Structures are given as C-alpha cells and as structure tokens.
Structure 1
Amino acid sequence: MTRRSHRLPPCHNSLTTALLMDTYQITMAYAYWKNGTHARSAAFDLIFRKNPFSGEFTIFAGLEECLRFISNFKFTEEDISFLSNEPLSTSMDVNFFKFLRQLDCTQIKIFAQLEGSIVFPRVPLMRVEGPLVMVQLVETTLLTLVNYASLVATNAARHRLVAGDSATLLEFGLRRAQGPDGGVSASRYAYMGGFNGTSNLEAGRQFAIPCKGTLAHSYVQSHQGFQDIGDPRLRLPDGNMCPDFLALVGLFKSKWLYKESFPDDLRWTKTNQSELAAFTSYALAFPSNFLVLVDTYDVLKSGIPNFLAVGLALRSCGYEPLGIRIDSGDLSYLSLRAREMLQHTQDLLGASYAEGFAQLGITASNDIHEEVLHSLNQHGHAITSFGIGTHLVTCLRQPALGCVYKLVEIDGAPRIKLSEDVEKVTIPGRKEAFRLYLKNGEPVVDVMLQGDEPTPKVDCRILCRHPFISSKRAYVQPARVERLFHLVWDGMNGGVPPDLDLSLCTARSRCMSSIKMMRSDHLRYSNPTPYKVSVSEQLYDFIHKLWLEEAPVGEIM
C-alpha cells in the first residue's frame, strides 16, 4: 500500500501551543490583516550566525518538534478568549479573532536540513514558505524549539569527541536542568548528540533512551552495619540459594582479600563496615547489576576494598560485578589507582576467582565538562564511563545558540536585511544549498545558489565565493554533491512526506556519521579551522546588487 503524507501527534511538551509566541507576532498579524497584506506569499529563513562553544560546527536538532507543532497549530477558544481580553486587543476589530480561529498550517511549506545533521552558520536550517501572516506567527515557537535542542545536541557531540568513541557517556543532568521540560529535552538531545543513556526515567519512557543508575551516597550512609540486612540469602543464577551471602562476603574480606597481599602503596588498614553492609545489601538486590559508589568515606582505603569483597563473593555465586563509580577527588589519580587494585586482585586470585576484574568499569561523575575530559586525556586516566550533568544540560559555557528568523522573500521579490555588522546581513531570496565533497570523502564547502540555478554536478568546477569578502573565492570540483534542503512539510499535500524518517535513533546515527566525515581540524578542541560556507557567483552578484539598491546613499555637505 502506498504511504501518504501525514500529520504528527502534538509536541511532547504541552506548553507548545499556538500562544507560545511573542506578543508582537499578534500585533503584526493584526496589522497585516487590517492592511489586507496577510495573504501575501512570504519566505523566512531560520539561521544562526556563529557556532557555539568556540567551536566550528553545530548539530541541528528540534525538527521533529517543529513539525509536531506545525501539524497541530490551531487557536483554541480558550486562546481566543485570552487574546480578546488582553489590553492590546482593545483597539482590534472583533472580526480579527474570527480570522484567527480559521488559521492552520495547511498552506505552509517547510524545507529543512535533516535532524542530527552537522550544520554551519549562514546556511538556513529551515525555510518556511506560505501566507505572510502564518509564517510570521510561527516564528517564536520554531526558534525556541530549535535553539535549545541544537545547543544541547552540539554540546553532547563535543563531549563525545573529547571522550572518544570507546567511552560510555551518561547524562545525569535532570536535577540541575532549567525545570522539568528543560531536563527532559536535555536528555533527548544529549542522546541525539552521542550520549549512551540517561538517568532520567521520564525521558527514557518518552523517547526509549536507555536508563542508567545505581545508588547515591545516602544509600551508603543509611546503613550502620550488617544488622540492617534482613535476609542474607542470595538466589543464584541456576535457581538455587546461597543461604548466607553475608558470611561469604566476610570470608572473602578476611581470608582471600587480605591487605598484606597488596603492595605497600595499595594497602588499607580497616574499611568502613557500614559501607560494606551497604554494598552487600545492594548486591542482594541487584546481583546482576552490581556497580556502586566508592567515595562516601575513602575511595582507596575503604570503597574499593569493600567493593572487591562483595564483587568476589558475587562472582563465586555466578554473577559478574560491573564496576565502581567515583564522584569526587582527583579522577585521574583515583581511577588509575583503582585500576591497579583491580588488576592486582585478578593477578592475586587468578581466573577462578577474579577473571575480568582488571577490565571492570570505572565511572566518574564529578562535575565533568569538556575541559575536564581534555585534562584527563592529557594526564591519563582509567575511566570507562562518564556521568555528565550540570555543564551538559545547562550549557554553562554558552547558554544560547542565537538562531534568528529572517524574511528573505515577499511576493517573489527577494528581501535583504542590512547591518553595520556584516555578520548580520542576510542572504536574500529562496536558495538551495549543497555540500560538496572531495575524492577522499571529506566535505569541503557548503555552497548556496539561487533557486533557478542548475544543481552542481560531480566533476564539474563551480566557483564558490565568500558572501561578503570579494577576495575569498575558489573553484571546487566535487566528487560528490549532497543536497541539504529537503521538503519536510507540505500542508497542501497532507503534511509530513511519507519517506521522512524523524526517529531519534536515525537522527542520532546521522549526527555521529556526519561528524566522522568531517576533517579533524574542523573538530579539534583548540583553535579549530572554520568550515567554508560560500555562495555561487550568481548569488554573490545578486547579494551585492540588492545591497546597493537598498542601502541609502549618504550625502556630505
């Protein structure tokens, strides 16, 4: 059966209503309607001007939520009632509110880059076409749905680059996020940007993100001794029962794991017994997922020895412990020493008791961010997983991306916005954009063309020019040409095209694969090389012609 275009369910956040807009959208809409210009054909570009976090790339995110919003845009009776009672409405014709009731997005078309794509300044993320009043009304909502999503996805991708492909990255930021909606969004877009999982169960439920978590310091502190453990029995993988797991832990602690067998610099004196009880009780609850926090009292002198005693007891019962988590202190030093202790335990007790202990996971979660990861790489560490929260979800290093939504065409006439700051000059008209690749598979430039220009062809030279600096130009002979804009919404034909895959997993895969295609100097942590964004010769000439036509001529007396 032929698949048809379709509409999407509402946005995941119920706050995303038709009224999620700035007041001036309504005042402009009224003025358009009053003047009879509301039905004029218009096109807006949603763009950003500068890559975040002192980097040279951005990950585009938020497209699915934008299309959910567009699919369900409608002013409700409650919306109309609120608007009609606002002070700004006192001078408005009541027929305007009847007009608002009729509005939807059936006459809108949206072209966009695909979610999860690596994107660059000036190249539109989205082009929204349709009646002027409608494409104006959706401005604020589209911006708020794209700005934060793209910022978090980019932040996550940057953390992934520094941590490396082999590390497990877990998002732990819910408690530090800007409210519940910020926390859930952060979990979603961190996963898109390359994280492996989240501690946020609600995000896991909504978006099928793997959920990870073990225990907090409070769990360890809540235990005072083995008397807190009610049932000492442990059910074994084969269904049989270990009658006294507590005694088994004690046996390994006293007989097999004696401190004198460790080198002098790895020895401990007496571990915290309440911590040992806490680890034992947790092992009884989760024998197949035994990963515990070892820094409540002392990582090396208590936490790890206690973990080893319980972990060895579990292994003797047929279970494999997962590892430890360190949440404070010198992560480089502590992780390396922890790895030494795990390795020595395996060497001491051999394969029958401790096989695989040298490779157990070490998770770190102490206020980690890009700079910390970079420092750990420089100084060395033995960490296999990172739990990252505050700096990831709040984007502390740069709290806003700065996307803007600019009119580029009205009734077929290209429009330009001028500024004394050249970075803020817009590129007029409806454009097509293409990514040109070299023979080695690396993208070399994104080039924008006017809509009536022929598509760049493989092995055919095209002159690529900087939009505003005349001396910056180069011929490029692409080995591959990728079209960047895709029709993602066609209201007159049912909505979202049937072949558009908006799944989170697809966007995540696209993000990671597009980053791997980039030249390494564009991605590096320090002083990355800017990626080239250009325009065709025809578009360059048109920009500067329109610029001169629109800029007022000064007069010196």
Structure 2
Amino acid sequence: MNIGKDNVYQGLQVHNSVVQPLLTDLYQITMAYAYWKSEKTTDTAVFDLFFRHNPFQGEFTIFGGLEECLRFLENFRYSDSDIEYLKTALPPTIEQSFFTYLKKLTAKDVTLYAIDEGSVVFPRVPLIRVEGPLIVTQLLETTLLTLVNFSSLMATNAARYRMAAGDNVSLLEFGLRRAQGPDGGLSASKYAYIGGFDGTSNLLAGKMFNIPVKGTHAHAYITSFSDPSELKTKTLKNIKNGKEQNLIELTLSWRTKTSKLLNISESQASDGELAALVSFAIAFPEGFIALIDTYDVNKWHYLGPKQLPVISSFGSGILNFCAVALALNDLGYKAIGVRIDSGDLAYLSNKSRETFILVAKEFNIPWFANLTIIASNDINEETIWSLNDQKHSIDCFGIGTHLVTCQRQPALGCVYKLVEVNSLPRIKLSQDGGKITMPGKKDAFRLFGGDGYALVDMLVMSNETPPVAKNKLLCRHPFDQKKRAFVVPSAIKPLYKVYWKDGQITQYLPDLREIREHVKESLRTLRPDIRRNLNPTPYKVSVSDNLYEYMHELWMRNSPIGELS
C-alpha cells in the first residue's frame, strides 16, 4: 500500500501500462530460467543500483524515478498473455513448469531501500538497494534501470537550467514535439517540473501530474491572417461599463499614436500580424501574450543620439503588440507580455523593456513597464549563462529540445550490480578500476560540516556501527589507499529508508511539489563551488576503514595470481 501522511491508503495508479514485467531484456528471462534449472529458487541476493559519473560535466545528480519503481513493484506479475508470449519467444526446450513458476512470481518477498526522491546524489553511492529472492531481484534489473536513468538525468538537467536562470526567472518546458516519443515527452515534463521548471506546454502531463500548463501561440497563427477586414469578430466587452467596443478601431488608433512615440512608420507594421494579435486578444483578453518575431525581428532603425530615450525599434511585432495592449487597457484588461523566438535575445529583450518603459511613462500606465518578456529559440544551458553575462531583460525562458532530449549528455549510465548472494559478498573485478564494484550490503551516510554544507558521503558495511556525529571518522577513498582523511562531522544523515517490504510501500510518498521543494533544499546543502557551472569541485564519496579493508581483502582473494615462466 501507499502510506499517506495520515496513514491513509493511497492506491498507486500506473500512468503507463507499458511498465510491466515484460519491459525487460530477453537475457533476464533466460538467466531466470537457468537459475530455476539450477534449483536456485531459494537463493537470496542483494543488488545495488548506482551510477559512475555525474552528467553534464557537473558534480551532482538529482535522484528521480523512485515512485515509478515502487509502482512497478506493486504491479509486478506476469499475465496470462505474458506467459503465452514467453512460450513463443523462448526455445521449445524450456520446461513448462518454469512458466507455472513465473506465473506465481510477485515482489512480495523483495525489500527495497532507497534515498529520498529529489535528493542530491553522487557516483558510486547506491540510489537503490534491492534484497530478496535471486530470481526476482534479477528480473527487476532492466525495468528499474529504465525508470531511474532518464528520470534522474532529466531532473538533473532541469536543476542545472534552474541554477543558470536564477530564482527570479520563470522556466517553461516546451519540449513535447521534440521528445523521444510520447513517454519521453511525459517523463520530461514530469521531471523538468521536479528539477525546478514552473510549467509545461504538455496538456497530458498537466492532467496526469497536476503541473501548471502554459503556452502562447505559434507563428502559424500570425501568418494565417492577412488583414483586419477578414476578422468576423471585431468587438470586445469593456469590463468597465459592460459595452461592446470595436477592438480593431481602438488598436489602429493606438498604433498611430505609438508609432509616433517609437519613431516607427506604420508602413513597417504588418496588417496581417495586427489582425492576428487582435483576434488572439479577443479570444484571450485576460491572458494576452503575443509572439512578436514573425516579421522583421532584426530590423532595428537607428535614429540618432538626439532622439527619444528609445532610439530604435524592431518594426512590426513590437508596434502591433503595444497597440493591441493599449487598446485592451482602454477596455479594462492587462496584457501579459511578449514572446521572442529568434534573433539576438539579449538585445531584443532589452529593447523591448525600454519600449515598455517608454510607453508606460508616456501614457501613464505603470504596469506596462513590467510586461513579461518570454524568450525561446532553441535555448540551452550555455545560452542562459551567456545571456546573463549580456544583462538581458528576459522574465521567462521557454525551453524545448536541449532540455527534454538532454542533448548535452543523452544517458546517465546507471548500473545494477550483484553485491551479495546468500549473505556472501560478490565483487566484479575489472582492469578498468572504475568498473570494480563495492561488495556486500552497505549503508550510506551524509556527513555535514559546521557551516551546514555536506562534506562527504560515507559508505559503511551494514553490520558495522554507524558513524556518530562529532566523533573523529576515518574516511577512505574506495580504491586509492593514499587518499584518506579524518572528518569530525557536525551532523550525520542516514540516506536510506525502507520503501518497500512485505509486498507494500512503507513510506509516505510526496507529491511532485514536495519533491520539487526537496530538490531545492538538497541543492542548498552543497557548497557553491560544487554547484557551479564551470570547473566545479568534485564532491567526495568515501568508505569506512572496515569496508575498505573488507573490499580489498575480497579483491585480492578473487584476483588470479599470475605465473612467470
């Protein structure tokens, strides 16, 4: 069951029916059969799910996907149609009683330990520890990995965008059309929100996950109009007096006034664009946002240093928007702002802000100066840092392709490794030191310094005494005997909780907003030099002295001894 804050059962609803036991690799089933054939049905195992390197050249990762893993465990069972399919997919030599065995399998004997979803996590510290029957825990591997890998990568990517944008700029996820299929789009919307985005254009994600949905309109809407005369609906109710008024006439009047103020000839403005904006304003008078770069976004007209404070303007879009917004103001409505989707975003946003300030001052409409400026146009993390250096005036970024596809690094690389069988440790050795596993059942602790920042994560053997705050602790690098240090932590936080045991969820599962807040809190525990964009300081992951000795003794015991001749 799913435990609520008031211990009320909250049944988990699987939002994607594809997530079921057959969402796995063939070799998981073939291994299960070989285990079964070897009479290993009573063997128990411990697996660690972890990653080896932080993504995006950074030094932190955000853990995502835990709730999806728990949903999977709750619904883990092979249907009749699954069994019938497996009979056709596997060799005919497979004994039929194996399929009877599979049909009875559930995750009720599995215990899952995990770090809280939304936590900052680091390489080699297991995000999830799975204990239970060897065959079942083996069958969970691929599905757990696919549920954690992209979720964590996506949440981390979004958190990095949030840090680049700062706390005062809104971030909207606009990536559904560029995502890797429908589930990629849904997952991207969900984990972008967890990572710090404020909303999504994805309506299904809004419905399913209660994420705020936001959007404007496309260039197609602007170019679908040719002239104001084609508008069938031309009036809008004045909320001050309740009368219908001709919005086109008001807009044209304001365009004449505004063109003089901004030193832009009305001949530069597209009448088709004007018609489109008037039409959109009639449809959404209280939510009017205009895309203003359809025509002449880069056409700025320099009129000399002795002219008005705004010495240039970019033609059609800004003029038509101001005219419609001022007309709406006459009828008692406040426009929201503009979206710029091409051109020099820093320059155009600053000129837009100058225009709004000038109009606000000239016509005594104070709120006009603070209209929202939204920027899109294939923005990535580096774009935002560059725009920050240029001192832009953007209030909101709409981000799509680079966010939802994680173009900078398309995979996190989580792995799922066997570390114990029947209470005996297992270790994977490799000439590549980075691929050597840390054997045995382990617990993880986060050690904090006196300044409140996290100092180091420490892995210890589950059967050893946990570290104690304000005591001197020896922290060792897992594989380099020369790297070690004493630490006296001011506080210690155990990282693992039992999230699944005896066939049910054992912890309260926070909603997306709570996980989103936990991401913020968790990131605040990292020093700024660890979080920074360029050349961040690596965060240290250590092991206890006992675990170090245990691991290296096992390493030596399992390494073959060479022979000279």
Partner residue, 1:329: 343
Give me the whole-angstrom Cα distance separating, in 2, the residues matched to 1:163 and 1:237: 37
Match of 1:426 among 417, 426, 437: 437
- Residue in structure 1 matched with residue 275 of structure 2 by the alignment: 277
How far residue 452 of structure 1 moved from its aligned partner, in angstroms, is 1.5
Query: Do 1:8 and 1:68's aligned partners in 2 also have CA atoms closer than 8 Å?
Result: no
Q: Which residue of 2 aligns with 1:224?
A: 226
Residue 243 of structure 1: CA displacement?
Answer: 2.2
Q: Residues of 2 paired with 1:409 and 1:5: CA distance?
A: 35
CA contact (8 A) 2:259 2:266 kept: no
Residue type at the aligned position of 2:59 = E
Residue 350 of structure 2 is aligned to residue 311 of structure 1: no
Map of 1:169 onto structure 2: 171
| Correspondent of 2:424 among 413, 430, 434 | 413
Aligned partner (choices 132, 143, 146) of residue 148 of structure 2: 146
Read off the aligned partner of 1:233 and give its amino acid letter: T
Shift of 1:6: 6.0
What is the match of residue 535 of structure 2? Answer: 527
Determine if contact 2:294/2:317 at 8 Å carries over to the other structure: yes
Pair 5,82 (structure 1): closer, same or farther in 2 beyond 3 Å = farther
Tell me by how many angstroms 1:141 deviates: 0.2
Within the candidate set 508, 518, 527, 2:516 is matched to: 508
Q: Which amino acid aligns with 2:291?
A: L
In the alignment, the residues of structure 1 paired with residue 212 and residue 241 of structure 2 have an alpha-carbon distance, to the nearest angstrom, of 28
Q: 1:204 aligns with which of 206, 231, 237?
A: 206
Residue in 2 aligned with 1:387? 398
Whether the 8 Å contact between 1:8 and 1:67 is mirrored in structure 2 is no
Bigger mean CA offset, 226-235 vs 93-102:
226-235
Give the one of 504, 512, 526 matched to 1:495. Answer: 504
The residue number in structure 1 matching 2:292 is 294
Query: Does residue 546 of the first structure (1) align with residue 554 of the second (2)?
Result: yes
Asked whether the 8 Å contact 2:259–2:265 carries over to 1, the reply is no
5+ long unaligned stretches in structure 1 = none
The CA distance in 1 between the partners of 2:81 and 2:561, in whole Å, is 50
Q: Which amino acid aligns with 1:289?
A: G
Equivalent residue letter for 2:278: T
Residues 81-119 of structure 1 show CA distances to partners (whole Å, capped at 9, x for unaligned) of 001112x33111110000001000000000001111110
* Segment drifting more, 292-301 vs 198-207: 292-301
Aligned match of 2:495 = 484
* Structure 1 SS opposite 2:524: helix
Given candidates 361, 385, 392, the residue that maps to 1:347 is 361
| Residue of structure 2 in register with 1:536 after alignment | 544
1:400-479 correspondence to structure 2 within 5 Å: 400-479=411-490
Most deviating of 8-17 and 151-160: 8-17
**TM-score using structure 2 length:** 0.94
- Report the alpha carbon displacement of residue 456 of structure 1 after superposing the two structures with TM: 1.8
Residue matched to 2:87: 84
What is the aligned partner in structure 2 of residue 55 from structure 1?
58
What letter matches 2:52 in structure 1? Answer: R
Matched residue SS, 1:202: helix
Aligned to 1:195: 197
Whether the 8 Å contact between 2:238 and 2:245 is mirrored in structure 1 is no
Alpha-carbon distance, 1:461 to partner: 1.4
The alignment covers a number of residue pairs equal to: 546
Maintained 8 Å contact 1:364/1:385? yes
Q: C-alpha displacement at 1:238, in angstroms?
A: 5.1
Q: Which residue of 2 aligns with 1:24?
A: 27
Deviations 1:305-348 (A, max 9, x none): 11100111111221111110000111111111111111111122
Q: 1:35 to 1:115 in 2, by over 3 A?
A: same
Equivalence for 1:35:
38
- Encode CA deviations 1:47-66: one digit per residue, 9 max, x unaligned: 10000111111011011110
Change (3 A) 1:2 1:505: closer
Deviation of 1:516 (Å): 1.9
The CA deviation string for residues 404-425 of structure 1, in whole angstroms up to 9 with x for no partner, is: 0000111111111111111111
Residue-by-residue CA offset, 1:249-282 (whole Å, 9 max, x unaligned): 122112x3242x33x6x77753111111111111
Contact 2:67 2:509 in 1 (8 A): no
- The separation in 2 between residues aligned to 1:235 and 1:291, in whole angstroms, is 19
Question: Per-residue displacement from partner, 1:360-412 (whole Å, max 9, x unpaired)?
Answer: 11101100001111111112211110010001111111111100000011111
Query: How far apart are the structure 2 equivalents of 1:139 and 1:355?
Result: 59
SS in 2 for 1:227: helix
SS at match of 1:89: coil
Match of 2:72 among 65, 69, 92: 69
CA contact (8 A) 1:233 1:241 kept: no
How far did residue 10 of structure 1 move? 4.7
Distance across 2 between alignment mates of 1:515 and 1:84: 48
Amino acid at match of 1:369: N
Distance of 1:331 and 1:408 partners within structure 2: 51
CA contact (8 A) 1:333 1:381 kept: yes
Deviates more, 1:139-148 or 1:337-346: 337-346
Q: Provide the identity percentage.
A: 50
Kindly provide the amino acid, as one letter, of the partner of residue 307 in structure 1.
F
Deviates more, 1:41-50 or 1:6-15: 6-15
> How far apart in 1 are the matches of 2:514 and 2:397?
24
8 Å Cα contact 1:271/1:306 also seen in 2: yes
C-alpha distance in structure 2 between counterparts of 1:36 and 1:542, whole Å: 30
SS of 2:505's partner is: coil
Distance in 2, Cα, partners of 1:240 & 1:5 = 49
Amino acid at match of 2:465: P
Corresponding residue for residue 370 of structure 1:
381
Residue 7 of structure 1 deviates from its aligned partner by 8.0
- SS in structure 2 opposite 1:162? helix
Scaled by the length of structure 1, the TM-score of the pair is 0.95
Offset at residue 459 of structure 1 (A): 1.1
2-structure distance, mates of 1:102, 1:514: 41
Give the letter aligned to residue 166 of structure 2: G
CA distance in 2, matches of 1:188, 1:90: 42
